[in-house]
Amino acid sequence: MVSRLIIVALLTSTLSSCGLTSLIPTGGTNVAANTQVGAENNQNVGVTTYNKPEIKPEGPVDTVNQDNSTTNISEIDPLLLILLVLGWLAPSPSEMGRGLLKLFRRKE
């Protein structure tokens, strides 16, 4: 019984979160990895100046329309209107199936 207790105590003491060292406050883990992940990385002490790139338009910008009104489209494409009417006149799939079966049935 005592040997089991010693084995359990040794196993739990080797685990970092279960041992006696987890009860002693040490200030937490150190996560100062000092990594630099990015396009332009700087570690400066003092004033840092950034030069912003100048964005120039590719073409003339004399006639920019900044109207906030909504667009009202009242024209309907004639082909869309024809498809709409044909879809309304076309039979349903069940009527088409009955028509196909009627073609292959024997006449009595």
Mind listing the pLDDT tens digit for each residue in 34-50? 676 666 666 677 777 77
pLDDT of residue 56: 73
pLDDT of residue 79: 93
* pLDDT by residue, tens only, the chain of 108 residues: 888 878 877 776 666 565 555 566 666 666 666 676 666 666 677 777 777 777 776 766 677 677 777 777 778 888 999 999 998 899 888 998 898 898 888 776
Do residues 91 and 99 touch, judged by C-beta distance below 8 A?
yes
pLDDT of residue 19: 54
Q: In degrees rounded to 5, what are phi and psi of residue 80?
A: -65, -40
Nearest CA among 3, 25, 22, 2 for reference residue 12: 22
76 backbone φψ class: left, alpha, beta (φ>0; ψ -120 to 50): beta
- Give CA–CA dist 84/76, Å, rounded: 11
Q: CB-based contacts of 13: which residues, under 8 Å, 6+ apart?
A: 19, 20
Spans of all domains in the chain: 77-108
pLDDT of residue 93: 87
pLDDT of residue 33: 67
Length of the chain: 108
- Give CA–CA dist 74/71, Å, rounded: 10
Do residues 36 and 43 touch, judged by C-beta distance below 8 A?
yes
pLDDT of residue 83: 92
